[in-house]
Amino acid sequence: MTKAVILNEGIIASIIGPTGPEQRRLANKVMEEALKKANLSLQAIAYIVSTGYGRINVPFADRQFTEITCHAKGIISLFPNAKTIIDIGGQDIKAIKIDVTGKTTDFVMNDKCAAGSGRFIEVIADTLGLPLEKVADLSLQSKSPAKISNICTIWAQQEVAASLAQGVPVSDLLAGVHHALADRICRMVNRLRVDDDVIVTGGGGKNKGLLKALSEQLGHEILVPEEPLITGALGAALMGKEIVENAKQNHKPLKTKERILEQIEIL
């Protein structure tokens, strides 16, 4: 997904838009929507920071920072006692350790494999013919989570389909899927020393079934931002705000790009 946050003393606008191969066009579209929501022109924005995999494809950004840096910055502003961040996205999963200032001290991330990301649950939901928004609540009804032994998405699909044919309740299958993904996440996260507070961001932060399984297996309470999908964008906005404030304090000129939203058509 493509996100934008406009910040002043607090968040004055945030947008979560689609993602896809046309990253420059989507960056323009999401920025337009955020500006409209904030009732601002692009020229009114003092500084723009981009982050994430597509950060170099934001033509109007003044600077780029990695998603690790921006997630840490965003989370520490919301949870001052945060020590461990687990970002569960559709493409990958990242675990980040931060100190009291929000500085990253260590991190690990998996490869871009569906079995190790939120996409794993999306694929299984499709296999069961369920809308994604119903998956979490159904899994919480489970009395006996199924054992999902395969970590490869393709084989897990077949295992789930076979178990369904044998009469295993859907709720138990979904709980088993959540436990399987939580186990995979924990194996990665435990390469770091997990300390409280533990914060989960990304789309996985909206899945109560996954959060329950993850909390049980990690042995830690899990906290989630009010909107877990925008913490990276929030961190980017905070980085931009810091740059502006430092320039003012040091009486240095602020170098920015020309404020133009490109009109990019898909051929």
What is the tens place of the pLDDT at every residue in 202-241?
999 999 999 999 999 999 999 999 999 999 999 999 999 9
pLDDT in tens, 158-174: 889 899 999 999 999 99
For the chain, domains (ranges, CATH) are 2-69+230-249 (3.30.420.40), 81-223 (3.30.420.40)
Over residues 54-102, the pLDDT tens digits come to 899 898 999 999 999 999 999 999 999 999 999 998 778 999 999 988 8
Nearest to 237 by CA among 82, 73, 26, 101: 73
The angle formed by the CA atoms of residues 107, 109 and 114, to the nearest 5 degrees, is 160
Q: Using pLDDT thresholds of 50, 70 and 90, give the confidence band for residue 112.
A: low
Question: What confidence category does residue 116 fall into, taking pLDDT thresholds of 50, 70 and 90?
Answer: low
CB 163 within 8 A of CB 149: no
Buried b (16+ CB within 10 A) or exposed e, 3-17: bbbbbeeeeebbbbb
pLDDT, greater one: 51 or 114:
51
How confident is the model at residue 244, as a pLDDT? 96
The whole-angstrom separation of Cα 168 and Cα 211 is 22
Rounded CA-CA distance 217/249 in Å is 47
CA proximity to 47, closest of 231, 232, 233, 254: 254
In which element (H, E) is residue 2 found? strand 2-7
Q: 13-42, pLDDT tens digit by residue? A: 999 988 776 778 888 999 999 999 999 999
